[in-house]
Chains A and B, each alone.
Chain A
Amino acid sequence: MPENLFKIHKEEYMLPGNRACQACGLSLGYRYILKALRENTILTIPASCLTVLHGLYPTTSVSLPCLNTTFASTAASASGLVAALNVLNKPDTTVVAMAGDGGTYDIGIQALSGAAERGTDFIFICYDNEGYMNTGTQRSSATPMGALTTTTPIHTKQQHKKDMFKIMEAHDLPYVASISPAYPIDLYDKIVKAKRIKGTRYIQMTAPCPPGWGFAPRDMVKIARLAIETGMVVLFEIEDGKFRFTGRSKTLAERGNKLPVINYVERQKRFMKMSIEQLSQLQRWVDGKWQEYLKRAD
C-alpha cells in the first residue's frame, strides 16, 4: 500500500491532452484509476463523458485497450469479456467496466445487477457526476435534492439521490468502495485492493463537474473535498460485508467535526434555487446516512 504519492505508479496511461472539460473530476480520478490498474487490463465503457475523454476515431488519449458499448450494456459487455478471456485461457486480464451515474443508476442497472448476481469477475466503477452531463446536465436518479438541471429547470430535483451502494451491497459483493479524485492515495489503494479480489467489485467515484454543477474550474478539488467534509460523499470500503471509514471521512467520524451541507451547497450554482426547506431536508438526509455509517463502523 502506498503511504504517499511517491509510491504511486509512474507510468501514465492517459496521454497528455484529452477531450474532457477543464478541471473535470472524472479526468483527474481516471488518471489514478488507470495507474492503479496498470497493463493487462481491458476496459469497457458506454456512451458517456468517458467516451468523449477517450477521444474521436482514429486517435485516443488512453493507452489501455477499450471496448465501447451501448448505454444499457456496460456490465453485460464486461461479462462477455470475462467469459471469452476464460475460454481463451487468459483469465489474468483484469476486466473493468466504467460508466457514469446514468449508465449505472438508471439505464445500466439491469445489466449491472445481472452481472453482480452472477458473481462476474470484474470491477465496475461508477463515476458519479450526478446527472447526464455529456448530454447537457439532465436529471438522473443520482442527482441530489434541490439541484437545478436542464430537465428540472424551475422546481429543482424533488427527490433524494438513490442509494446505489445499498443496492450493490444487497448483491453480497466481496468489495464495495467509495473514492474521490480529491483523495488520490485513498483512491489508488482501493483500486489496487479491488484488483486483487475475485468476483464483482463495485466502486463509485464522485466526479465534480464544473459546467454541470456551476463552479469555477479552479475550485474542483475544493468542491470534491467539501463533498467529503460535509458528508455529502463518504469515503469508505465494505470488504465481505465489513464496513470501515477511510481517509478524510475516517478522521471526520473520529473527531465528529463534519461540516453543515450549506458549506458545499452555497458554492454551486445548481443549488441556487434550493429552498430553505429543501436545504434542511438535505441536511437531515445527509445526517441520517452519516448516522447509519457511524453505527456500521462501530
Chain B
Amino acid sequence: MSHVEILTGNQAAAIGARLCRVQVVSAYPITPQTSLTESLSQSIESGELKAEYIRVESEHSALTVCISASSVGARAFTSTSSHGLLYMHEQLHWAAGSRLPIVMCCVNRSVGAPWSIFNDQQDAIAQRDTGWIQLYCRDNQEIVDTLIQAFRIAEQVYVPIMVCYDGFVLSHTNMPVEIPDADVVDAFLPPYKPRAILCPENPRNINPVIFPWRRPDAKGNLRDGYMELRYKLQAALDESRNIINEVSRAYAGTFGRDHGGLLWTYQADDAEVLFAAMGSIATEATTAVDTLRNQGLKAGVAGIRSYRPFPRAEVREALKGAHTVLVLEKDISYGYEGALCSDIKAALYGSDIRPSIHNIVAGLGGRDVKAREIVEAAQAALESISQGEREQTTWLNCRQGSWL
C-alpha cells in the first residue's frame, strides 16, 4: 500500500529515483542538492537499490558517466544545482544530441558571481537551449510523481529531462508526501529499452564527425546530415508535448494525482488577472490569489510545469479570458526581461488574446517572496495599467536606481 511520509524535497527525489530503479547514479556534491545524492549513496551501499554509484570528481564527469551508461543500455540518473549545472553545460548538449533518456534533478539555485547558495531559477533557465525537457515542481509530492513520469516520458521520446525544484524552499522543507508502491511503479514504468545500444555484438561508431549535408552509407543509402538530426531533436520536443500530457493523465489514472501535464491552473476559469509562474513561486501565487479573491478581484494562476517544450496552446487557452497577466519569475534574461515573460508574450503573438502583461522579477538569490508581497505587486501593476502602462518589468522588493 502507498503510504504518507513527511519528507524534504531531496528525500522525496531520492525515493523517486529509487522507485524508478535507476541503474547508474553519478553525482558531485553541491548545495542544495547534496542530501539527495547522500541519500542515494546510502540506498546503494546498503543494497536497498541495486545500482552503481560513481562518485565523480566533477559535474562534467557526472553527466558524462550518465551519457555513456545510457549508451550501453542502463537507466541513468544524476542531480545538481547552480554552478554544477553550468559546469555540465557542454554535456547537456551532448546528452540531448545523443538522444539519451537521462533524468536529472536540478535543485534550483542562483549563480555567481558573487556567491549565493540560495534559490532562484537562473541555473536551469540558462540551460534552456540545450535540448532538454524541463519540468518544474510545485511541491515535494510533485517531485516524486514527476520523477516517475520523467523516465517514462524520456524513454518514449529519447530526450533527457531535467526535473527542476526550488533549492531550500522545497529541497530542505518538510512536507507530507504520499509514496507510491514499488510494484505499481514497476508496472507504470517498464525497464528501459535502449534505441541504439553500444555493444560488441553489433559494433557502431556513435556520435562521430558528421557533415552538413547528407551522405551515403556503405550500402549507398543516404543518411542524415547534422541538420536532419537537429530537426529530429526539435520534432521530438514538439512531440513530447503530447507524451507529457498523456503520461500525466496515465499517472493520474494509476496513482490518483494529476499535476496537470504541461500546465496547471488555479482559480483560472473566470479570472481576469492571471499570474503565470513556475515552481514553488507559483504555489505562493495561489495563496496571493486567495487574498485577492477575498478582496473581490477575480485572480488566478497558470502554472507552467513544462518550460521546454513550451506549452503554447495551453498558455493561450489558460490566458484567453484575462485582461491582465502578471508573469512572476525567479530569473532574468539580462538585457531584456524575464525569460518566461518573453515566452508567454511569444505564445500569444498572432492570436486575439492581448492582455496587458507585466513582468515581476522576484526572489533572486533567495530573497524571500511572501504572498503579501505578491498581492501588493499585483495591486501596483493594476494601478499602473489603469494609467496606461500595458507592459512593464518590475523587480519585487528590490532597491533600484543605480547601474554601477
Query: Which of A42, A66, A80, A113 has the most C-beta atoms of chain B within 10 angstroms of its own C-beta?
Result: A80
Pair B215/A65 contact, Cβ less than 8 Å: no
Q: Is A77 an interface residue (CB 8 A)?
A: yes
Question: Which residues of the partner chain B approach A63 to less than 8 Å between Cβ atoms?
Answer: 203
Query: Quick one: CB contact mask for A26-60 with B, threshold 8 Å, 1 for yes?
Result: 00000000000001111010000001101111111
User: Smallest Cβ distance from B159 to chain A, in angstroms?
Assistant: 19
Pair B72/A69 contact, Cβ less than 8 Å: no
User: Smallest Cβ distance from B199 to chain A, in angstroms?
Assistant: 6
Query: Complex formed: what's the CA distance from A68 to B26 in Å?
Result: 19
Pair B74/A67 contact, Cβ less than 8 Å: no
Pair B217/A66 contact, Cβ less than 8 Å: no
Pair B68/A56 contact, Cβ less than 8 Å: no
Query: Complex formed: what's the CA distance from A67 to B67 in Å?
Result: 10
Query: Complex formed: what's the CA distance from A69 to B61 in Å?
Result: 11
Q: Is A62 an interface residue (CB 8 A)?
A: yes
Pair A84/B68 contact, Cβ less than 8 Å: yes
Question: Which residues of the partner chain A approach B215 to less than 8 Å between Cβ atoms?
Answer: 56-59
Question: Which residues of the partner chain A approach B90 to less than 8 Å between Cβ atoms?
Answer: 70, 72
Q: Is B370 an interface residue (CB 8 A)?
A: no
A54-B205, A65-B203, A68-B207 known; A76 vs B60 contact (CB < 8 Å): yes
Q: Is A193 an interface residue (CB 8 A)?
A: no
Pair B203/A84 contact, Cβ less than 8 Å: no
Partner of B69, one of A66, A80, A110, A117: A80
Stretch with Cβ within 8 A of A (4 or more), from B47-55, B242-250, B260-268, B322-330: B47-55
Question: Which residues of the partner chain A approach B206 to less than 8 Å between Cβ atoms?
Answer: 65-68
Pair A77/B200 contact, Cβ less than 8 Å: no
Query: Quick one: CB contact mask for A165-206 with B, threshold 8 Å, 1 for yes?
Result: 000000000000000000000000000000000000000000
> In residues 28-81 of chain B, which contact A (Cβ within 8 Å)?
50-52, 54-58, 60-61, 64-74, 76
Q: Which residue of the partner chain A has the closest CB to B51?
A: A87
Pair A81/B58 contact, Cβ less than 8 Å: no
Name B's interface SS: mixed
A56-B215, A80-B65 known; A110 vs B204 contact (CB < 8 Å): no
Pair A67/B60 contact, Cβ less than 8 Å: no
Pair A87/B209 contact, Cβ less than 8 Å: no
Q: Which residue of the partner chain B has the closest CB to A95?
A: B68
Partner of B209, one of A57, A72, A73, A86: A57
Pair A118/B204 contact, Cβ less than 8 Å: no
Q: Which residue of the partner chain A has the closest CB to B66?
A: A80
Q: Is A83 an interface residue (CB 8 A)?
A: yes
Query: Which of B67, B70, B90 has the most C-beta atoms of chain A within 10 angstroms of its own C-beta?
Result: B67
Question: Which residues of the partner chain B approach A118 to less than 8 Å between Cβ atoms?
Answer: 54-55
Q: Is B82 an interface residue (CB 8 A)?
A: no
> In residues 83-140 of chain A, which contact B (Cβ within 8 Å)?
83-88, 90, 93, 110-111, 113-114, 117-118
Pair A88/B209 contact, Cβ less than 8 Å: no
A56-B209, A60-B205, A70-B94 known; A83 vs B64 contact (CB < 8 Å): no
Query: Complex formed: what's the CA distance from A79 to B53 in Å?
Result: 11
Q: Is A294 an interface residue (CB 8 A)?
A: no
Q: Which residue of the partner chain A has the closest CB to B209?
A: A56
> In residues 245-286 of chain A, which contact B (Cβ within 8 Å)?
none
Query: Which of A83, A86, A90, A110 has the most C-beta atoms of chain B within 10 angstroms of its own C-beta?
Result: A83
A79-B54, A88-B74 known; A69 vs B94 contact (CB < 8 Å): yes
Query: Which of B58, B70, B202, B203 has the most C-beta atoms of chain A within 10 angstroms of its own C-beta?
Result: B203
Q: Is B179 an interface residue (CB 8 A)?
A: no
Query: Complex formed: what's the CA distance from A27 to B51 in Å?
Result: 38
Query: Complex formed: what's the CA distance from A55 to B215 in Å?
Result: 12
Pair B52/A114 contact, Cβ less than 8 Å: no
Query: Complex formed: what's the CA distance from A62 to B203 in Å?
Result: 9
Q: Is A232 an interface residue (CB 8 A)?
A: no
Q: Which residue of the partner chain B has the closest CB to A19?
A: B209
Q: Is B313 an interface residue (CB 8 A)?
A: no
Pair B72/A88 contact, Cβ less than 8 Å: yes
Query: Complex formed: what's the CA distance from A72 to B61 in Å?
Result: 9
A39-B200, A87-B52 known; A56 vs B210 contact (CB < 8 Å): yes
Partner of B200, one of A42, A54, A113: A42
Question: Which residues of the partner chain B approach A80 to less than 8 Å between Cβ atoms?
Answer: 24, 26, 54, 64-71, 76
> In residues 208-232 of chain B, which contact A (Cβ within 8 Å)?
208-211, 215-218, 223
Q: Is A20 an interface residue (CB 8 A)?
A: no
Pair B57/A78 contact, Cβ less than 8 Å: no
A73-B91, A88-B74, A111-B64 known; A81 vs B69 contact (CB < 8 Å): yes
Q: Is B23 an interface residue (CB 8 A)?
A: yes
Partner of A111, one of B58, B66, B67, B217: B58
Q: Which residue of the partner chain A has the closest CB to B53?
A: A83
Pair B52/A84 contact, Cβ less than 8 Å: yes
A65-B204, A70-B94 known; A57 vs B223 contact (CB < 8 Å): yes
Question: Which residues of the partner chain A approach B216 to less than 8 Å between Cβ atoms?
Answer: 58
User: Smallest Cβ distance from A111 to chain B, in angstroms?
Assistant: 5
Question: Which residues of the partner chain B approach A77 to less than 8 Å between Cβ atoms?
Answer: 64-65, 67-68
A40-B200, A52-B209, A69-B64 known; A114 vs B74 contact (CB < 8 Å): no
Q: Is B371 an interface residue (CB 8 A)?
A: no
Query: Complex formed: what's the CA distance from A63 to B70 in Å?
Result: 21
Q: Is B198 an interface residue (CB 8 A)?
A: yes
Query: Complex formed: what's the CA distance from A84 to B77 in Å?
Result: 12
Pair A83/B65 contact, Cβ less than 8 Å: yes
Query: Complex formed: what's the CA distance from A93 to B215 in Å?
Result: 32
Query: Quick one: CB contact mask for A5-19 with B, threshold 8 Å, 1 for yes?
Result: 000000000000000
User: Could you show 28 A-B contacts with beta carbons less than 8 Å apart?
Assistant: A42-B198, A42-B200, A54-B205, A54-B208, A55-B209, A56-B211, A57-B210, A57-B211, A57-B223, A58-B223, A60-B205, A67-B68, A69-B64, A72-B90, A73-B91, A76-B64, A77-B65, A80-B68, A80-B69, A80-B70, A80-B71, A83-B26, A84-B23, A84-B69, A84-B76, A85-B72, A87-B50, A93-B200
Residues of A within 8 A of B (CB): 39-42, 44, 51-52, 54-60, 62-70, 72-73, 76-81, 83-88, 90, 93, 110-111, 113-114, 117-118
The 7 closest A-B pairs by CB, nearest first: A114-B57, A80-B68, A76-B61, A80-B65, A84-B74, A84-B69, A76-B64
Residues of B within 8 A of A (CB): 23-24, 26, 50-52, 54-58, 60-61, 64-74, 76, 90-91, 94, 198-200, 202-211, 215-218, 223
